Amino acid sequence: MDSKFIALVIGRLLLAFAPLPWSIRNDHQLSSPLTSYPRLQEGIYLFRHGIDPYSGGAFRHSPLLLSLFSTVLPLNEYSSPLIWTACDAVAAWALVRIWRSRQNVSASSRDVLLAALYLLNPYIFFPSLALSTSTFENMLYLLSLMFACRGRTSAAALTLAFLTHLSLPSILLLFPLVLLILSGPASRLASPRPFPADSRKTLPILAQFVGCFVLLCIAATLVCGNWTWVEKTWGAQFMLPDLTPNPGLWWYFFTEMFDHFRPFFLMVFSVHLLIYVAPICIKFQHDILYACFLLLGVFATFKAYPTLSDPGLFLSMIAVFPETFPYLRHPIVTTLLHLHASLLLPLFHHLWIAQGTGNANFFYASTLVFGMANGAALLDAIWAGLRIAIGDTKECCEVVQE
């Protein structure tokens, strides 16, 4: 595993240093206003010259990234590919460790396949080449799951606090992550049972998360010298001030929205993410890791500023649950939808932005196909997770009858 994994990372690093057009870093499919590398560079430049980067409307990254990349890890044409490749390598390693924890093994023949599915996934690979900071979010998400699977409460709380600081909607993962720490990652889809009620450890876990989160907020405020960053970063994820096109479902809807309807629909779209957490965690209380996986698919489909790396992480994580593969209902249709969307998105984006022969409807039509593909993958995963117990029960009954 080690030599093959290192070879994958080296190959990924060589590709990161390959000459690429600068336009890829401004591609709307690979980075959003909240994860754009050029905007991060602009904010760092302003910060170094004593200008508040949050005084305008362009910079919306976390102050922690601003502090990190303006002091400890300065960004340039050589360091940036190294940093982003290292983050991808850590994320792939965390995915492998999640698989090992679920199978309760120290190593397996599937390790290299899991790492390759992450490092070579085009939905993850291209945003990373564009130096989108969504790479950091994916890494932190997988690290928090890995630590939770291994029962390392403090590390899981800290990584989730960092993730929430970068992307506030990620706080919705707190409840399932706590349940994952309490129940463990073992595969129990085929044998559902009620969640063991033991709430004594819940409050200490929540206290650790709140403590880490508050400390990060204080650190961010000290970096900026004021609380302006809250509105510009977290507020943007709910108020949608920047309607730059992206592969999501929000931007075009609010472009056409009358101003007096905007607050109501912003509330509806934001609450829409919240309503999935409790039902999925309750239905899959016997396998909380699978519930975390499903919630990742929900957020990737319906978040305000998604990039290709969001559904890319969901599609890579499905390899952790091979027991569900025989129960997928329409895997070929889902695959073809993703293939169709992956062709339409760059084509219609080029026609609209570069050629000027199309309009916004062209690109939005392709994002609707992409949304259908993500929704189909999510529904297929939910169906398989529910059917596996019924299928195994039928097989046991047939064996008993014989």
Which pLDDT band, with edges at 50, 70 and 90, does 352 fall under? confident
User: How does pLDDT run across 69-87, given as a tens digit for each residue?
Assistant: 988 888 888 888 999 999 9
Average model confidence (pLDDT) across the chain: 88
User: By C-alpha distance, which of 194, 196, 189, 187 is closest to 393?
Assistant: 189
Residue 164 has pLDDT above 90, yes or no: yes
Stretch 120-137: mean pLDDT: 92
User: By C-alpha distance, which of 151, 140, 138 is closest to 178?
Assistant: 151
* pLDDT over 70 percentage in the chain: 95
Stretch 114-139: mean pLDDT: 92
**What's the pLDDT at 291?**
94
Which pLDDT band, with edges at 50, 70 and 90, does 1 fall under? low
Residue 397 has pLDDT above 50, yes or no: no
User: By C-alpha distance, which of 304, 156, 300, 306 is closest to 241?
Assistant: 304
Helix (H, G, I), strand (E, B) or coil at 256: coil
Stretch 370-375: mean pLDDT: 93
Which pLDDT band, with edges at 50, 70 and 90, does 391 fall under? low
Residue 187 has pLDDT above 90, yes or no: no
Residue 147 · residue 171 · CB < 8 Å: no
* Residue 107 region by backbone torsions, left for phi larger than 0, else alpha for psi between -120 and 50, else beta: beta
Residue 13 has pLDDT above 70, yes or no: yes
Helix (H, G, I), strand (E, B) or coil at 57: coil
User: What single DSSP character describes residue 242?
Assistant: -
Stretch 99-110: mean pLDDT: 88
Rg (CA), the chain: 21
Q: How far is CA 324 from the centre of its chain?
A: 21
Report domain extents, the chain: 3-389
Residue 224 has pLDDT above 70, yes or no: yes
Stretch 203-220: mean pLDDT: 93
Q: Alpha carbon of 26 to those of 30, 38, 75, 108, 358: distances in Å? A: 8, 7, 17, 39, 19
Which pLDDT band, with edges at 50, 70 and 90, does 360 fall under? confident
User: How does pLDDT run across 300-343, given as a tens digit for each residue?
Assistant: 999 989 999 999 999 999 999 999 999 998 899 999 999 999 99
Which pLDDT band, with edges at 50, 70 and 90, does 292 fall under? very high
With residue 43 as reference, give the H or E element that holds it: helix 37-48
Task: Provide the greatest CA pair distance for the chain.
Answer: 79
**What's the pLDDT at 88?**
94
Stretch 169-187: mean pLDDT: 90
Which pLDDT band, with edges at 50, 70 and 90, does 400 fall under? very low
**What's the pLDDT at 395?**
46
**What's the pLDDT at 320?**
93
The span from the CA of 388 to the CA of 324, in Å, is 7
Residue 97 has pLDDT above 50, yes or no: yes
User: How does pLDDT run across 240-288, given as a tens digit for each residue?
Assistant: 888 888 898 888 888 888 888 888 988 888 888 889 999 999 999 889 9
The span from the CA of 194 to the CA of 222, in Å, is 45
Helix (H, G, I), strand (E, B) or coil at 351: helix
The span from the CA of 149 to the CA of 157, in Å, is 12
The span from the CA of 169 to the CA of 59, in Å, is 19
pTM: 0.92
**What's the pLDDT at 21?**
65
